[in-house]
Amino acid sequence: MHAAANRATLPFCTALEKMMAARYTLIVGTKDWSSWSLRAYVALRATQARFVEVFVPLRQQPLTGDEIRKYSKAGRVPILKIEENGREATVWDSLAICETLAERHPEAKLWPADALTRAEARAYACEMHSGFPDVRDQLSMDFARRRPLPALRDETKAQVARIIEAWSSALSRFGGEGGFLFGGFSVADCMYAPVVSRFVTYGVDVPPPVKAYMEKVMALPAMRDWGLDSQKEVDAGVA
């Protein structure tokens, strides 16, 4: 179980009570590979709430699918189970999990406070959620390893350029002292965290401000812990 921060420091009593009453279980896949699981994990870690983590090994069909469907008939990770006041909810899909956590934990400030900035941050998160198929295909997540950059298709090059352009734009306008896409750490950063790891894995060339952003994301305690677990999977031969 991951420990929460000192609860006495939390500024919102309602959020504090919710954290104390709720029980979270996060079902994730093989950490070296599962980009969608990583998104939900870094969001949950940002709330500082306690949670239990359940691991399902990927790429072991039919075992993988059967095991995931024990928790959600959607058959995909991540899955967040919430137990609260005698009730239970199941949330699947990484963006839905991030939105749920942002709503339940306003003290985590997972969306910008300003409405217009928040609207753009949501657009960033959704673009990542629904787009960049060629990046996913050619630069698949391999968190613990370092690999040579393959010969990229034109479509992949265009999508990499779009990501770098989007990051550069957000950082120049909103990054400020926080150093994340919209200043403080947000759902937008959660959604792009696996892309940061992909760019590190394959050594994608980026301009200095983007490199500084990537280093900040990779230095997050949640990302470091994910990297340690990914390396253990590689060492054990399961990834």
Specify whether 28 is located in the same domain as 94. Answer: yes
Q: Write out pLDDT tens, residues 93-102.
A: 999 999 999 9
User: Do 147 and 67 have their domain in common?
Assistant: no
pLDDT of the residue at 4: 40
Q: Are residues 135 and 100 in the same domain?
A: no
DSSP state of 2: B
Q: In this structure, is residue 59 part of a structural domain?
A: yes
CB contact set of 185 (below 8 Å; sequence gap of 6+): 46, 109, 110, 178, 220
Where a domain ends, among 108, 132, 167? Answer: 108
- Is pLDDT above 80 for 8? no
Residue 80 belongs to some domain of the structure: yes
- Same-domain status, 220 and 126: yes
- Residue 73's domain is classified under what CATH number? 3.40.30.10
pLDDT, the chain, mean: 91
Is 131 in the same domain as 219? yes
What average pLDDT does range 207-217 have in this prediction?
98
The answer to whether residues 66 and 155 belong to one domain is no
Task: Calculate the CA 207 to chain-centre distance.
Answer: 23
Instruction: Cite the beta strand spans of the chain per DSSP E.
Output: 23-29, 51-56, 79-84, 87-92
Q: Are residues 201 and 130 in the same domain?
A: yes
Q: Is 239 contained in some domain?
A: no
Q: How confident is the model at residue 70 (pLDDT cuts 50, 70, 90)?
A: confident
Q: What average pLDDT does this structure show over 3-7?
A: 36
CATH number, domain of 161, equals 1.20.1050.10
- Choosing from 90, 108, 126, the residue where a domain stops is 108
Claim to verify: residue 121 and residue 103 sit in the same structural domain: no
> Which band of pLDDT confidence, cut at 50, 70 and 90, is reported for residue 17?
low
Any domain includes 172 = yes
Residue 2 pLDDT exceeds 70: no
The total number of structural domains that make up the chain: 2
d(CA 93, CA 124): 17
Its domain, for residue 203, covers 115-227
Dist CA 238 CA 233 (whole Å): 5
Residue 235, in any domain of the structure: no
Distance between CA atoms of residues 135 and 82, nearest Å: 32
Q: Give the percent of the chain with pLDDT over 90.
A: 82
Q: For the residues 154-177, what does the mean pLDDT come to? A: 97
List all residues 6 or more positions away from 99 whose beta carbon is below 8 Å from its beta carbon.
Answer: 187
**Does residue 149 sit in the same domain as residue 57?**
no
The letter for the amino acid at 104 is R
Question: Quick one: tokens of 147?
Answer: 């690999």
Asked whether residue 117 carries a pLDDT value surpassing 60, the answer given is yes
Asked, for residue 238, whether it belongs to a domain, the answer is: no
Mean pLDDT computed over 159-180: 97
Same domain for 30 and 101?
yes
